[in-house]
Amino acid sequence: MKTEKELQKIGEDVVKLICEIYDPEIPVNIYALGLIYDVQVSDECDVKIIMTLTSPNCPVAESLPAEIEEKVNSLNDVKNVKVEIVFEPPWTKDMMSEEAKLELGML
């Protein structure tokens, strides 16, 4: 079984990887956009990612979660990955990082 520190490192690695995934319509990564609500790593090294989309009609609603699962599954220590899409709370521009807002000219 992994130590708390090792599990935390896995979580950090997952977030780093997620930061490399970009919304195809907006030139900002999905983490900075505020689409990732939570990353949970179990004692068994299973990863659950709770996220939302910019809208329920998002054109990448099918492909984006699959891309995330595939990339996170590539991490050596990760056993299983589950991406759960939620719409509560609904995504707003306020959830974006300062960097994302700056990148999009919103500051």
Q: How far apart are CA 102 and CA 89, in angstroms?
A: 23
- Three-state DSSP at 103 gives helix
In CATH, the architecture of 4-102 is 2-Layer Sandwich (3.30)
> Given CA atoms 41, 70, 80, 5 in this order, what sign does their dihedral have?
negative
Whole-number pLDDT of residue 23: 84
Q: What is the pTM of this model?
A: 0.92
pLDDT value for 60: 85
What residue type is 26 in one-letter code? I
Q: Where are the domains of the chain?
A: 4-102
User: Would you state the pLDDT for residue 24?
Assistant: 81
Positions of the chain with pLDDT under 70 = none
The per-residue pLDDT for 61 is 86
Map tokens 């891309």 to a residue. 67
pLDDT at 98: 94
Q: What is the pLDDT of residue 94?
A: 94
Bond before 24 cis per omega within 30 degrees: no
